[in-house]
Amino acid sequence: MALVLSALSVLSGLAWADSPADLLDHYKTEAKAAGLGAGDAPRGQSFFNSTHGNEWKCASCHGAVPTGKGEHAITHKVIEPMAPALNPQRFSDLAKTEKWFRRNCKDVLARDCSAAEKADVLAWLISLK
């Protein structure tokens, strides 16, 4: 009986795992509620590779096309690829995704990213193969 309950617990956890597409839908829904269009991959690429009034851009650490490993500009810590096709752990958990968006957006923008900005960047990252 304990084995069955354990197996059900594992399976139920898998059923609730987020996918990059799930997170993209989440951000698009949030943006739409705010009256914004979102999920535009070319706009996401432009956002990722642009400075926004500060010295850093997303590409400063992740690379202009984040399909390979990046490196933090100050700590030199290796950063695994951002593209979900090359790193299946990316964008598989909403809470973790929010944590990193919050931290990195403050570094790049000096503010939180909007849902539309998150959706645009994520749409572009999903498109990378």
Q: Are 120 and 49 in contact (CB under 8 A)?
A: no
Write the pLDDT tens digit of every residue in 42-51.
999 999 999 9
Write the pLDDT tens digit of every residue in 9-22.
444 444 456 899 99
As a whole number, mean pLDDT of residues 17-39 equals 93
As a whole number, mean pLDDT of residues 77-82 equals 96
Exposed, middle or buried by CB within 10 Å (0-12, 13-18, 19+), for 122?
buried
Q: Give the up-direction half-sphere exposure of residue 1: CA atoms within 13 A in the CB hemisphere.
A: 0
Give CA separation, 64 vs 17, 30, 47, 48, 50, in Å: 29, 27, 11, 8, 10
Site of tokens 């609730």: 16
Please report the pLDDT score of residue 99 as a whole number: 96
Spatial separation of the C-alpha atoms in residues 44 and 31, rounded to whole Å: 14
Query: Does residue 120 surpass a pLDDT of 90?
Result: yes
pTM, to two decimals: 0.84
What the chain holds in terms of domains, given with CATH numbers, is: 39-129 (1.10.760.10)
Give CA separation, 43 vs 25, 28, 61, 70, in Å: 17, 14, 19, 21
Write the pLDDT tens digit of every residue in 83-108.
999 999 999 999 999 999 999 999 99
